[in-house]
Protein backbone atom coordinates (compact mmCIF):
# COMPACT_ATOMS: atom_id res chain seq x y z
CA UNK A 1 0.00 0.00 0.00
CA UNK A 2 1.36 3.45 -0.89
CA UNK A 3 0.08 7.00 -0.85
CA UNK A 4 2.62 7.94 -3.53
CA UNK A 5 1.28 8.36 -7.08
CA UNK A 6 2.95 6.69 -10.07
CA UNK A 7 5.50 9.23 -11.31
CA UNK A 8 8.86 9.07 -13.05
CA UNK A 9 10.65 9.93 -9.80
CA UNK A 10 9.44 6.75 -8.04
CA UNK A 11 8.81 4.32 -10.88
CA UNK A 12 11.20 1.74 -9.38
CA UNK A 13 8.66 1.13 -6.61
CA UNK A 14 6.21 -0.16 -9.19
CA UNK A 15 8.84 -2.15 -11.06
CA UNK A 16 9.59 -3.95 -7.82
CA UNK A 17 6.05 -4.50 -6.50
CA UNK A 18 4.11 -4.45 -9.76
CA UNK A 19 1.10 -2.34 -10.70
CA UNK A 20 -1.48 -1.60 -7.96
CA UNK A 21 -4.59 -3.77 -7.89
CA UNK A 22 -6.75 -0.84 -6.77
CA UNK A 23 -6.35 2.95 -6.89
CA UNK A 24 -8.25 5.62 -4.95
CA UNK A 25 -7.54 9.18 -6.06
CA UNK A 26 -7.30 12.37 -4.03
CA UNK A 27 -10.33 13.72 -5.89
CA UNK A 28 -12.39 10.62 -5.03
CA UNK A 29 -11.44 10.90 -1.38
CA UNK A 30 -12.56 14.53 -1.30
CA UNK A 31 -15.81 13.84 -3.16
CA UNK A 32 -16.62 10.90 -0.86
CA UNK A 33 -16.10 13.03 2.23
CA UNK A 34 -13.12 11.11 3.60
CA UNK A 35 -10.65 13.91 2.81
CA UNK A 36 -11.04 17.65 3.36
CA UNK A 37 -11.58 19.90 0.31
CA UNK A 38 -9.39 22.95 0.09
CA UNK A 39 -9.20 26.49 -1.24
CA UNK A 40 -6.01 27.85 -2.78
CA UNK A 41 -4.84 31.45 -2.48
CA UNK A 42 -2.12 32.26 -5.04
CA UNK A 43 -0.27 35.28 -3.68
CA UNK A 44 2.42 37.03 -5.75
CA UNK A 45 4.90 39.62 -4.55
CA UNK A 46 6.31 42.23 -6.91
CA UNK A 47 9.70 40.54 -6.87
CA UNK A 48 8.17 37.16 -7.72
CA UNK A 49 6.15 38.71 -10.55
CA UNK A 50 8.91 40.80 -12.15
CA UNK A 51 12.12 39.40 -10.67
CA UNK A 52 14.69 41.22 -8.54
CA UNK A 53 17.99 42.73 -9.53
CA UNK A 54 20.51 44.33 -7.15
CA UNK A 55 21.80 47.83 -7.67
CA UNK A 56 25.29 48.11 -9.10
CA UNK A 57 27.83 47.36 -6.36
CA UNK A 58 25.06 46.28 -3.89
CA UNK A 59 26.55 44.64 -0.79
CA UNK A 60 24.80 42.02 1.29
CA UNK A 61 24.66 41.94 5.09
CA UNK A 62 28.19 40.46 5.23
CA UNK A 63 29.74 43.08 2.96
CA UNK A 64 29.91 40.86 -0.12
CA UNK A 65 28.95 42.27 -3.49
CA UNK A 66 25.81 40.60 -4.85
CA UNK A 67 26.33 39.41 -8.46
CA UNK A 68 24.45 41.65 -10.89
CA UNK A 69 21.89 39.18 -12.22
CA UNK A 70 18.13 38.86 -12.62
CA UNK A 71 16.87 36.73 -9.72
CA UNK A 72 13.52 34.93 -9.88
CA UNK A 73 11.32 32.94 -7.49
CA UNK A 74 13.41 29.79 -7.90
CA UNK A 75 16.49 31.79 -6.78
CA UNK A 76 14.97 33.37 -3.68
CA UNK A 77 16.35 31.94 -0.43
CA UNK A 78 18.65 29.71 -2.49
CA UNK A 79 20.92 32.15 -4.31
CA UNK A 80 19.77 35.31 -2.54
CA UNK A 81 17.80 35.81 0.68
CA UNK A 82 15.46 38.81 0.53
CA UNK A 83 14.34 39.86 3.99
CA UNK A 84 11.69 42.29 2.70
CA UNK A 85 10.05 39.49 0.71
CA UNK A 86 9.95 37.17 3.73
CA UNK A 87 8.44 39.94 5.84
CA UNK A 88 5.81 40.75 3.18
CA UNK A 89 4.80 37.08 3.04
CA UNK A 90 4.66 36.91 6.86
CA UNK A 91 2.54 40.08 7.00
CA UNK A 92 0.06 38.87 4.39
CA UNK A 93 -0.21 35.49 6.10
CA UNK A 94 -0.72 37.13 9.52
CA UNK A 95 -3.53 39.28 8.12
CA UNK A 96 -5.07 36.13 6.63
CA UNK A 97 -5.11 34.52 10.09
CA UNK A 98 -6.61 37.66 11.64
CA UNK A 99 -9.49 37.43 9.15
CA UNK A 100 -10.02 33.70 9.67
CA UNK A 101 -8.66 32.04 12.83
CA UNK A 102 -5.50 33.14 14.66
CA UNK A 103 -5.35 29.72 16.29
CA UNK A 104 -5.88 27.80 13.06
CA UNK A 105 -2.98 25.33 12.99
CA UNK A 106 -0.62 26.01 10.11
CA UNK A 107 2.51 24.52 8.52
CA UNK A 108 4.78 26.91 6.60
CA UNK A 109 7.08 25.13 4.11
CA UNK A 110 10.31 27.09 3.58
CA UNK A 111 13.35 26.69 1.33
CA UNK A 112 15.82 25.57 4.01
CA UNK A 113 16.33 25.57 7.77
CA UNK A 114 17.69 29.10 7.73
CA UNK A 115 14.67 30.36 5.82
CA UNK A 116 12.38 28.52 8.26
CA UNK A 117 14.00 30.43 11.12
CA UNK A 118 13.65 33.73 9.23
CA UNK A 119 9.93 33.08 8.70
CA UNK A 120 9.47 32.04 12.33
CA UNK A 121 11.03 35.30 13.48
CA UNK A 122 9.02 37.44 11.05
CA UNK A 123 5.70 35.82 11.99
CA UNK A 124 6.48 36.06 15.72
CA UNK A 125 7.26 39.78 15.40
CA UNK A 126 3.85 40.36 13.81
CA UNK A 127 2.00 38.42 16.54
CA UNK A 128 3.67 39.73 19.69
CA UNK A 129 0.31 39.96 21.51
CA UNK A 130 -0.09 36.17 21.28
CA UNK A 131 3.60 35.32 21.63
CA UNK A 132 3.64 37.15 25.00
CA UNK A 133 1.12 34.69 26.43
CA UNK A 134 1.99 31.68 24.24
CA UNK A 135 5.76 31.50 23.80
CA UNK A 136 5.35 28.46 21.51
CA UNK A 137 2.80 30.17 19.23
CA UNK A 138 5.31 29.92 16.32
CA UNK A 139 7.99 27.20 16.30
CA UNK A 140 10.59 26.03 13.82
CA UNK A 141 10.67 22.27 13.33
CA UNK A 142 13.67 21.15 11.29
CA UNK A 143 16.46 18.60 11.68
CA UNK A 144 18.45 21.03 13.84
CA UNK A 145 15.79 21.09 16.58
CA UNK A 146 16.13 17.36 17.32
CA UNK A 147 14.07 16.22 20.32
CA UNK A 148 12.80 19.74 20.98
CA UNK A 149 11.40 19.90 17.45
CA UNK A 150 9.80 16.48 17.80
CA UNK A 151 8.15 17.72 20.98
CA UNK A 152 6.72 20.75 19.16
CA UNK A 153 5.52 18.43 16.40
CA UNK A 154 3.77 16.10 18.86
CA UNK A 155 1.98 19.01 20.51
CA UNK A 156 0.96 20.36 17.11
CA UNK A 157 -0.58 16.98 16.24
CA UNK A 158 -2.52 16.79 19.51
CA UNK A 159 -6.08 17.96 18.80
CA UNK A 160 -6.50 19.02 22.44
CA UNK A 161 -3.38 21.22 22.50
CA UNK A 162 -3.75 24.89 21.54
CA UNK A 163 -0.09 25.69 20.81
CA UNK A 164 2.09 25.59 18.86
CA UNK A 165 -0.21 27.08 16.23
CA UNK A 166 2.34 27.65 13.45
CA UNK A 167 5.23 25.38 12.50
CA UNK A 168 7.87 26.60 10.04
CA UNK A 169 9.86 23.84 8.35
CA UNK A 170 11.72 22.97 5.17
CA UNK A 171 11.60 19.22 4.37
CA UNK A 172 10.96 17.52 7.70
CA UNK A 173 7.15 17.72 7.78
CA UNK A 174 6.35 16.88 4.14
CA UNK A 175 5.60 13.26 5.10
CA UNK A 176 4.74 11.22 8.17
CA UNK A 177 2.88 13.99 10.01
CA UNK A 178 -0.74 13.27 10.94
CA UNK A 179 -2.22 16.62 12.03
CA UNK A 180 -6.03 16.25 11.91
CA UNK A 181 -6.75 19.89 12.82
CA UNK A 182 -4.23 21.54 10.46
CA UNK A 183 -6.23 24.27 8.70
CA UNK A 184 -3.59 26.05 6.63
CA UNK A 185 -0.71 24.96 4.41
CA UNK A 186 1.68 27.74 3.37
CA UNK A 187 4.13 27.33 0.47
CA UNK A 188 7.03 29.77 0.83
CA UNK A 189 9.24 27.59 -1.37
CA UNK A 190 9.05 26.17 -4.87
CA UNK A 191 7.84 22.56 -5.07
CA UNK A 192 8.94 20.94 -8.32
CA UNK A 193 7.82 17.36 -7.65
CA UNK A 194 4.22 16.18 -7.98
CA UNK A 195 4.93 13.47 -5.42
CA UNK A 196 6.11 16.02 -2.88
CA UNK A 197 3.26 18.38 -3.73
CA UNK A 198 0.68 15.69 -2.95
CA UNK A 199 2.53 14.79 0.24
CA UNK A 200 2.40 18.43 1.35
CA UNK A 201 -1.31 18.66 0.52
CA UNK A 202 -1.80 15.52 2.60
CA UNK A 203 -0.80 17.45 5.73
CA UNK A 204 -4.12 19.30 5.51
CA UNK A 205 -6.57 16.75 4.10
CA UNK A 206 -7.47 15.14 7.44
CA UNK A 207 -11.11 15.68 8.46
CA UNK A 208 -12.15 16.31 12.09
CA UNK A 209 -15.72 17.56 12.06
CA UNK A 210 -15.89 17.37 15.87
CA UNK A 211 -13.23 20.13 15.93
CA UNK A 212 -14.72 22.11 13.04
CA UNK A 213 -12.05 20.94 10.57
CA UNK A 214 -14.02 20.26 7.38
CA UNK A 215 -11.75 22.00 4.83
CA UNK A 216 -8.40 23.77 4.69
CA UNK A 217 -6.65 26.63 2.92
CA UNK A 218 -3.47 26.56 0.90
CA UNK A 219 -1.52 29.81 0.60
CA UNK A 220 0.93 29.61 -2.28
CA UNK A 221 3.56 32.35 -2.50
CA UNK A 222 5.72 30.67 -5.18
CA UNK A 223 3.36 29.50 -7.94
CA UNK A 224 3.87 25.81 -7.15
CA UNK A 225 0.15 25.12 -6.79
CA UNK A 226 -0.67 26.88 -10.06
CA UNK A 227 1.87 24.76 -11.90
CA UNK A 228 0.71 21.49 -10.34
CA UNK A 229 -2.96 22.16 -11.13
CA UNK A 230 -1.99 22.51 -14.78
CA UNK A 231 -0.32 19.08 -14.70
CA UNK A 232 -2.60 16.49 -16.42
CA UNK A 233 -1.63 13.93 -13.76
CA UNK A 234 -3.03 16.00 -10.91
CA UNK A 235 -6.27 14.50 -9.60
CA UNK A 236 -7.41 16.59 -6.65
CA UNK A 237 -8.35 20.08 -7.76
CA UNK A 238 -9.21 22.76 -5.19
CA UNK A 239 -12.69 24.22 -4.74
CA UNK A 240 -11.37 27.77 -5.07
CA UNK A 241 -8.15 29.58 -5.99
CA UNK A 242 -7.61 33.30 -5.54
CA UNK A 243 -4.76 35.59 -6.51
CA UNK A 244 -3.96 38.62 -4.37
CA UNK A 245 -1.71 41.59 -5.05
CA UNK A 246 0.20 42.94 -2.05
CA UNK A 247 1.65 46.36 -1.41
CA UNK A 248 4.98 47.03 0.29
CA UNK A 249 3.46 46.59 3.74
CA UNK A 250 1.98 43.19 2.87
CA UNK A 251 -1.58 44.55 2.60
CA UNK A 252 -3.73 43.23 -0.27
CA UNK A 253 -4.52 45.74 -3.03
CA UNK A 254 -6.54 43.55 -5.40
CA UNK A 255 -8.06 40.08 -5.56
CA UNK A 256 -9.45 38.03 -8.42
CA UNK A 257 -10.51 34.49 -9.30
CA UNK A 258 -8.63 32.71 -12.10
CA UNK A 259 -8.10 29.46 -13.95
CA UNK A 260 -4.80 28.03 -15.06
CA UNK A 261 -5.27 29.33 -18.62
CA UNK A 262 -5.05 32.89 -17.28
CA UNK A 263 -1.66 32.35 -15.70
CA UNK A 264 1.53 33.69 -17.23
CA UNK A 265 3.14 30.77 -19.12
CA UNK A 266 6.41 31.42 -17.32
CA UNK A 267 4.70 30.58 -14.02
CA UNK A 268 3.76 27.19 -15.46
CA UNK A 269 7.32 26.43 -16.50
CA UNK A 270 9.05 23.72 -14.52
CA UNK A 271 11.21 25.57 -11.96
CA UNK A 272 14.44 23.65 -11.62
CA UNK A 273 16.46 24.37 -8.52
CA UNK A 274 18.62 27.41 -9.13
CA UNK A 275 22.29 26.81 -9.68
CA UNK A 276 24.09 28.77 -7.01
CA UNK A 277 27.47 30.18 -7.94
CA UNK A 278 29.67 30.22 -4.85
CA UNK A 279 32.07 33.16 -4.79
CA UNK A 280 35.69 32.01 -4.32
CA UNK A 281 36.47 31.39 -0.69
CA UNK A 282 32.96 32.17 0.50
CA UNK A 283 31.68 30.17 3.46
CA UNK A 284 28.05 31.09 3.01
CA UNK A 285 26.14 29.61 0.10
CA UNK A 286 23.82 32.56 -0.59
CA UNK A 287 23.70 36.33 -0.38
CA UNK A 288 21.60 38.23 2.14
CA UNK A 289 19.80 41.43 1.10
CA UNK A 290 18.15 43.15 4.08
CA UNK A 291 16.89 46.35 2.44
CA UNK A 292 14.22 47.47 -0.01
CA UNK A 293 10.44 47.21 -0.05
CA UNK A 294 8.25 44.70 -1.81
CA UNK A 295 4.54 44.75 -2.59
CA UNK A 296 2.08 41.96 -3.30
CA UNK A 297 1.38 42.04 -7.03
CA UNK A 298 -1.47 39.53 -7.39
CA UNK A 299 -3.93 37.31 -5.48
CA UNK A 300 -5.73 34.69 -7.58
CA UNK A 301 -8.81 32.62 -6.70
CA UNK A 302 -9.08 29.23 -8.41
CA UNK A 303 -12.46 27.51 -8.68
CA UNK A 304 -13.71 24.35 -10.39
CA UNK A 305 -16.46 24.61 -13.01
CA UNK A 306 -19.91 23.08 -12.23
CA UNK A 307 -18.82 19.75 -13.76
CA UNK A 308 -15.78 19.60 -11.51
CA UNK A 309 -13.46 19.14 -14.47
CA UNK A 310 -11.83 22.46 -15.26
CA UNK A 311 -10.53 25.48 -13.39
CA UNK A 312 -12.06 28.71 -14.62
CA UNK A 313 -11.65 32.42 -14.18
CA UNK A 314 -14.57 34.58 -13.06
CA UNK A 315 -14.82 38.01 -11.54
CA UNK A 316 -14.88 38.06 -7.76
CA UNK A 317 -18.24 39.88 -7.83
CA UNK A 318 -19.77 37.23 -10.13
CA UNK A 319 -18.40 34.50 -7.91
CA UNK A 320 -20.04 36.13 -4.85
CA UNK A 321 -23.38 36.40 -6.68
CA UNK A 322 -23.26 32.71 -7.60
CA UNK A 323 -22.58 31.65 -4.02
CA UNK A 324 -25.41 33.82 -2.65
CA UNK A 325 -27.89 32.29 -5.13
CA UNK A 326 -26.72 28.84 -4.08
CA UNK A 327 -27.56 29.61 -0.44
CA UNK A 328 -30.70 31.70 -1.11
CA UNK A 329 -32.58 31.22 -4.41
CA UNK A 330 -34.42 34.55 -4.02
CA UNK A 331 -33.92 37.97 -2.44
CA UNK A 332 -36.93 37.65 -0.05
CA UNK A 333 -35.43 34.48 1.43
CA UNK A 334 -32.13 36.26 2.03
CA UNK A 335 -33.94 39.31 3.48
CA UNK A 336 -35.82 37.27 6.09
CA UNK A 337 -32.61 35.66 7.35
CA UNK A 338 -30.54 38.85 7.14
CA UNK A 339 -32.98 40.89 9.26
CA UNK A 340 -32.30 38.59 12.24
CA UNK A 341 -28.95 39.59 13.84
CA UNK A 342 -28.16 36.01 14.88
CA UNK A 343 -28.96 34.54 11.46
CA UNK A 344 -27.10 37.42 9.77
CA UNK A 345 -23.96 36.41 11.65
CA UNK A 346 -24.43 32.84 10.42
CA UNK A 347 -24.81 34.06 6.81
CA UNK A 348 -21.62 36.12 7.10
CA UNK A 349 -19.77 33.06 8.44
CA UNK A 350 -21.09 30.84 5.64
CA UNK A 351 -20.02 33.36 3.02
CA UNK A 352 -16.64 33.75 4.72
CA UNK A 353 -16.14 29.98 4.46
CA UNK A 354 -16.62 30.41 0.71
CA UNK A 355 -13.93 33.08 0.53
CA UNK A 356 -16.25 36.13 0.50
CA UNK A 357 -15.16 39.06 2.64
CA UNK A 358 -17.45 42.12 2.54
CA UNK A 359 -14.69 44.72 2.56
CA UNK A 360 -12.97 43.04 -0.39
CA UNK A 361 -16.30 42.57 -2.15
CA UNK A 362 -17.26 46.24 -1.73
CA UNK A 363 -13.84 47.25 -3.07
CA UNK A 364 -14.12 44.87 -6.04
CA UNK A 365 -17.60 46.25 -6.86
CA UNK A 366 -16.43 49.83 -6.23
CA UNK A 367 -19.32 50.31 -3.80
CA UNK A 368 -17.72 51.20 -0.43
CA UNK A 369 -20.91 52.82 0.94
CA UNK A 370 -23.34 50.06 -0.03
CA UNK A 371 -25.05 48.06 2.67
CA UNK A 372 -23.73 44.45 2.52
CA UNK A 373 -27.29 43.14 2.11
CA UNK A 374 -28.00 45.45 -0.82
CA UNK A 375 -24.65 44.63 -2.38
CA UNK A 376 -25.38 40.89 -2.19
CA UNK A 377 -28.87 41.38 -3.66
CA UNK A 378 -27.44 43.53 -6.43
CA UNK A 379 -24.79 40.98 -7.38
CA UNK A 380 -27.01 37.90 -6.97
CA UNK A 381 -30.45 39.11 -8.14
CA UNK A 382 -29.64 42.37 -10.01
CA UNK A 383 -31.57 44.38 -7.40
CA UNK A 384 -31.06 48.17 -7.21
CA UNK A 385 -28.15 49.29 -5.05
CA UNK A 386 -28.81 51.32 -1.93
CA UNK A 387 -26.28 52.93 0.37
CA UNK A 388 -26.39 52.53 4.13
CA UNK A 389 -27.31 56.20 4.50
CA UNK A 390 -30.22 55.83 2.08
CA UNK A 391 -31.47 52.86 4.08
CA UNK A 392 -31.19 54.77 7.36
CA UNK A 393 -32.95 57.83 5.93
CA UNK A 394 -35.78 55.71 4.58
CA UNK A 395 -36.31 54.10 7.99
CA UNK A 396 -36.45 57.51 9.71
CA UNK A 397 -38.98 58.78 7.18
CA UNK A 398 -41.27 55.76 6.82
CA UNK A 399 -41.27 54.36 10.36
CA UNK A 400 -41.60 57.37 12.64
CA UNK A 401 -44.07 55.32 14.68
CA UNK A 402 -41.19 53.12 15.86
CA UNK A 403 -39.25 56.08 17.27
CA UNK A 404 -42.39 57.70 18.74
CA UNK A 405 -42.81 54.76 21.12
CA UNK A 406 -39.83 55.92 23.16
CA UNK A 407 -38.97 58.93 25.25
CA UNK A 408 -36.86 61.83 23.90
CA UNK A 409 -33.46 60.59 25.13
CA UNK A 410 -34.02 57.03 23.94
CA UNK A 411 -35.08 58.36 20.51
CA UNK A 412 -31.80 60.28 20.38
CA UNK A 413 -29.84 57.11 21.20
CA UNK A 414 -31.68 55.10 18.52
CA UNK A 415 -30.99 57.80 15.96
CA UNK A 416 -27.32 57.85 16.98
CA UNK A 417 -27.20 54.07 16.48
CA UNK A 418 -28.72 54.53 13.05
CA UNK A 419 -26.16 57.22 12.20
CA UNK A 420 -23.30 54.97 13.29
CA UNK A 421 -24.71 52.26 11.02
CA UNK A 422 -24.91 54.75 8.12
CA UNK A 423 -21.22 55.57 8.59
CA UNK A 424 -19.75 52.19 9.49
CA UNK A 425 -22.26 49.34 8.94
CA UNK A 426 -24.12 46.75 11.02
CA UNK A 427 -21.15 46.07 13.32
CA UNK A 428 -22.31 49.20 15.20
CA UNK A 429 -25.35 47.30 16.53
CA UNK A 430 -23.26 44.97 18.72
CA UNK A 431 -24.33 45.19 22.37
CA UNK A 432 -23.05 46.16 24.88
CA UNK A 433 -19.91 47.32 23.02
CA UNK A 434 -21.63 50.18 21.22
CA UNK A 435 -22.77 51.66 24.53
CA UNK A 436 -19.16 52.44 25.40
CA UNK A 437 -18.31 54.58 22.35
CA UNK A 438 -19.29 58.20 21.59
CA UNK A 439 -21.76 59.68 21.07
CA UNK A 440 -23.84 56.98 22.78
CA UNK A 441 -21.48 56.82 25.76
CA UNK A 442 -22.22 60.51 26.34
CA UNK A 443 -25.58 59.44 27.75
CA UNK A 444 -23.94 57.72 30.73
CA UNK A 445 -22.47 54.41 31.77
CA UNK A 446 -23.83 51.25 30.05
CA UNK A 447 -25.97 50.52 33.11
CA UNK A 448 -27.52 54.00 32.97
CA UNK A 449 -28.27 53.67 29.26
CA UNK A 450 -29.85 50.25 29.85
CA UNK A 451 -32.01 51.81 32.56
CA UNK A 452 -33.29 54.44 30.07
CA UNK A 453 -34.71 51.57 27.97
CA UNK A 454 -36.29 49.90 30.99
CA UNK A 455 -33.84 47.00 31.22
CA UNK A 456 -31.36 44.93 29.24
CA UNK A 457 -34.02 42.86 27.51
CA UNK A 458 -35.96 45.94 26.43
CA UNK A 459 -32.75 47.47 25.03
CA UNK A 460 -31.98 44.31 23.09
CA UNK A 461 -35.52 44.13 21.72
CA UNK A 462 -35.40 47.76 20.59
CA UNK A 463 -32.07 47.33 18.77
CA UNK A 464 -33.22 44.04 17.19
CA UNK A 465 -36.45 45.63 15.97
CA UNK A 466 -34.48 48.59 14.61
CA UNK A 467 -32.44 46.18 12.49
CA UNK A 468 -35.51 44.23 11.38
CA UNK A 469 -37.24 47.41 10.21
CA UNK A 470 -34.05 48.55 8.53
CA UNK A 471 -34.23 45.53 6.20
CA UNK A 472 -38.02 45.35 5.87
CA UNK A 473 -39.30 45.02 2.32
For the segment 345-374, what is each residue's pLDDT rounded down to a tens digit? 899 888 887 778 788 788 878 888 888 899
In a domain, 215, yes or no: yes
Check pLDDT > 70 for residue 437.
yes
The mean pLDDT value of the chain amounts to 80
| 39 three-class SS | strand
Residues 173-180 have a mean pLDDT of 71
pLDDT score for 281 = 46
**Residue 205 shares a structural domain with residue 262:** yes
pLDDT class of 405 with cuts at 50, 70, 90: very high
Cross-strand bridge partners of residue 298? 44, 244
Whether residue 108 contacts residue 173, with contact meaning beta carbons closer than 8 Å, is answered with no
pLDDT score for 124 = 96
* Strand stretches in 221-368, DSSP E: 240-246, 252-258, 287-289, 296-304, 311-312
pLDDT score for 232 = 57
Q: Which of 128-132, 216-220, 295-299 has the lowest mean pLDDT?
A: 295-299
Q: Which of 167-176, 188-197, 263-272 has the lowest mean pLDDT?
A: 263-272
Residues 125-149 have a mean pLDDT of 92
**Residue 361 shares a structural domain with residue 407:** no
pLDDT score for 205 = 77
**Residue 363 shares a structural domain with residue 330:** yes
pLDDT class of 243 with cuts at 50, 70, 90: low
Last residue of a domain, one of 296, 312, 328: 312
pLDDT score for 254 = 63
- pTM listed for this prediction: 0.60
pLDDT score for 312 = 47
pLDDT score for 224 = 72
Check pLDDT > 90 for residue 30.
no
Mean pLDDT: which of 38-42, 295-299, 404-408 is highest? 404-408
Q: Which letter does DSSP use for residue 127 in this model? A: T
Check pLDDT > 80 for residue 229.
no
**Residue 365 shares a structural domain with residue 227:** no
In a domain, 184, yes or no: yes
In a domain, 328, yes or no: yes
Q: Which of 13-22, 24-33, 43-52 has the lowest mean pLDDT?
A: 13-22
**Residue 148 shares a structural domain with residue 292:** yes
Q: Which letter does DSSP use for residue 385 in this model? A: P
pLDDT digits (tens, 9 = 90+) for 69-111: 999 999 999 999 999 999 999 999 998 898 888 999 999 999 9
Last residue of a domain, one of 273, 288, 312: 312
Q: Give the residue among 301, 216, 208, 313 at the shortest CA–CA distance from 254.
A: 301
Residues 231-254 have a mean pLDDT of 59
pLDDT score for 85 = 93
In a domain, 348, yes or no: yes
In a domain, 16, yes or no: no
pLDDT score for 256 = 63
List the domain range (segments joined by +) for residue 373: 316-386
**Residue 150 shares a structural domain with residue 270:** yes
**Residue 287 shares a structural domain with residue 322:** no
**Residue 288 shares a structural domain with residue 423:** no
Distances (CA, A) of 327 to 45, 107, 214, 323, 331: 34, 32, 18, 6, 11
Q: Which value, in Å, is the radius of gyration of the alpha carbons in the chain?
A: 26
**Residue 297 shares a structural domain with residue 212:** yes
pLDDT score for 255 = 64
- The number of distinct structural domains making up the chain is 3
| 158 three-class SS | coil
pLDDT score for 139 = 95
pLDDT score for 5 = 52
Check pLDDT > 80 for residue 235.
no
**Residue 296 shares a structural domain with residue 320:** no
Amino acid sequence: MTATPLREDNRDTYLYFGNPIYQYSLRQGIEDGFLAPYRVHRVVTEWDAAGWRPSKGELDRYGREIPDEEYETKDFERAVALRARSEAIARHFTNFLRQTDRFGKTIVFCVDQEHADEMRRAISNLNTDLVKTHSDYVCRVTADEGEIGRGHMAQFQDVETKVPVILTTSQLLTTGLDAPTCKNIVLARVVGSMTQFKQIIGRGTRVRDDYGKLWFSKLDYTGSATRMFADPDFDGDPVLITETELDSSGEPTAERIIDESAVDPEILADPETAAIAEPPGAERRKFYFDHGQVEIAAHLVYELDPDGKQLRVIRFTDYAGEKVRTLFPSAPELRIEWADPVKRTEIIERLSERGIDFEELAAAANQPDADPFDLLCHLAYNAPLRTRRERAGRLRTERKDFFDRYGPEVRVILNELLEKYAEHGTAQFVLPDVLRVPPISDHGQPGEIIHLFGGAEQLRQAVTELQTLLYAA
